[in-house]
């Protein structure tokens, strides 16, 4: 077949040389003949192209195509979805609290574009102003275990219309907790009294070692690894004679996406579950996916999350050109 293509190409080149003389091109005698020769040359060229395509198809069918013509396997693997997460914050007034050892994050939102006033009362006393604004978040240190705090969110700057309320009462007992933020984990503890304690931990069954001391506290660490079991023990005082409470932390060794709301800010955390980097994409209300971040794990604080809007986060195992 290849010989036939070359022979046809040779005949076209010979005919073209005979019919189109560069010395007489453009003269009146050969002006009409040049157009006819051009048409014939084009028809001949089409025939050569068709024969070449047929030859290429035959080569491909026999499996003789070079490796460079084949689609790379990485382009398929790069579109592998690791994890998906859907976030839709409620569209309405909202108050929330998150405990971090010595501090508690109080967050609120009026659920609209109008400002509001957040008041609180502690242990049944008269309520006082805590904060103003459409959305907000404050970390305070005076939240005491066993005390009942009642928050009221009012519309505007007056106290005429209550939008929503929230009751906070931390249990008066020893406590250990862990919150995941992608690249770091917040370890919080308290003895449940004014007396100091000692927090120890063991990693993967190894002998335990001191983590921190105090009546309460919180530390962010970056050495928590998925698939490894961490056991925390909180002891009374500086010795290990009396155990107050214990806590086991085992993060699953898998891709993961999570969010945490802090008023005007939302924390978006992710992890591929391995040492291989990934790409985090987000779509809004069914729109096109757009790249948010890359890496093996991390945490972002964003302000563009809108209540009532549906956000879909997708984590892929590698950068992709056109995600589905």
Number of H helices, E strands in the chain: 3, 21
* Tally of structural domains, the chain: 4
CATH classification at residue 132: 2.60.40.730
The mean predicted confidence, pLDDT, of the chain is: 81
Tell me whether residue 182 is in a domain: no
Q: Which domain holds residue 64?
A: 2-69
Measured CA distances, 150 to 1, 115, 154, 255 (Å): 88, 20, 13, 38
Residue 183 lies in a domain: no
Within-domain flag for 162: yes
What does the chain come to in residues?
A: 324
What is the per-residue pLDDT for 320? 53
**Residue 179 covered by a domain:** no
214: in domain: yes
Mark which of 113, 137, 168 sits at the end of a domain. 168
In a domain, 203, yes or no: yes
Q: Is residue 184 part of a domain?
A: no
pLDDT in tens, 98-140: 999 999 999 999 999 999 999 999 998 999 999 999 999 999 9
Whether residue 259 sits in one domain with residue 240 = no
Residues 244 and 260 in one domain: no
Answer yes or no: pTM beyond 0.85. no
Tell me the CA end-to-end span of the chain in Å, nearest whole number.
Answer: 42
Q: Is the pLDDT of residue 32 over 80?
A: no
Q: What is the pLDDT of residues 163-189, one digit of tens each?
A: 999 999 999 999 999 999 999 999 999
Kindly give the interhelix angle for 31-61 and 2-19, rounded to the nearest 10 degrees. Answer: 170
């Amino acid at each position: 077949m290849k010989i036939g293509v070359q022979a046809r190409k040779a005949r076209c080149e010979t005919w073209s040389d005979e019919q189109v003389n560069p010395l007489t091109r453009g003269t009146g005698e050969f002006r009409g003949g040049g157009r006819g020769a051009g048409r014939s040359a084009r028809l001949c060229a089409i025939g050569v192209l068709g024969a070449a395509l047929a030859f290429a198809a035959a080569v491909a069918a026999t499996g003789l195509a070079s490796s460079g013509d084949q689609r790379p396997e990485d382009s398929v693997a790069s579109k592998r979805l690791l994890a998906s997460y859907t976030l839709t914050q409620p569209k309405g007034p909202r108050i929330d609290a998150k405990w971090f050892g010595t501090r508690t994050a109080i967050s609120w939102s009026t659920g609209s574009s109008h400002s509001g006033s957040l008041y609180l009362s502690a242990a049944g006393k008269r309520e006082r102003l805590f904060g103003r604004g459409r959305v907000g978040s404050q970390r305070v240190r005076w939240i005491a275990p066993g005390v009942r705090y009642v928050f009221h969110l009012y519309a505007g700057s007056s106290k005429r219309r209550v939008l929503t309320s929230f009751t906070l009462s931390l249990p008066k007992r020893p406590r250990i907790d862990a919150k995941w933020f992608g690249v770091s984990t917040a370890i919080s503890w308290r003895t449940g009294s004014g007396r100091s304690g000692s927090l120890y931990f063991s990693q993967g069954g190894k002998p335990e070692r001191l983590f921190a001391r105090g009546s309460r506290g919180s530390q962010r660490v970056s050495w928590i690894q998925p698939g490894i079991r961490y056991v925390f023990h909180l002891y009374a005082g500086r010795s290990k004679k009396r155990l107050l409470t214990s806590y086991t932390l085992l993060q699953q060794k898998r891709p993961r996406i999570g969010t945490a709301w802090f008023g005007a800010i939302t924390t978006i955390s992710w992890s591929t579950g391995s040492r291989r980097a990934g790409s985090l994409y987000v779509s809004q209300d069914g729109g096109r996916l757009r790249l948010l971040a890359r890496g093996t794990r991390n945490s972002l604080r964003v302000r563009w999350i809108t209540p009532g809007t549906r956000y879909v986060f997708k984590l892929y195992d590698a950068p992709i050109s056109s995600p589905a």
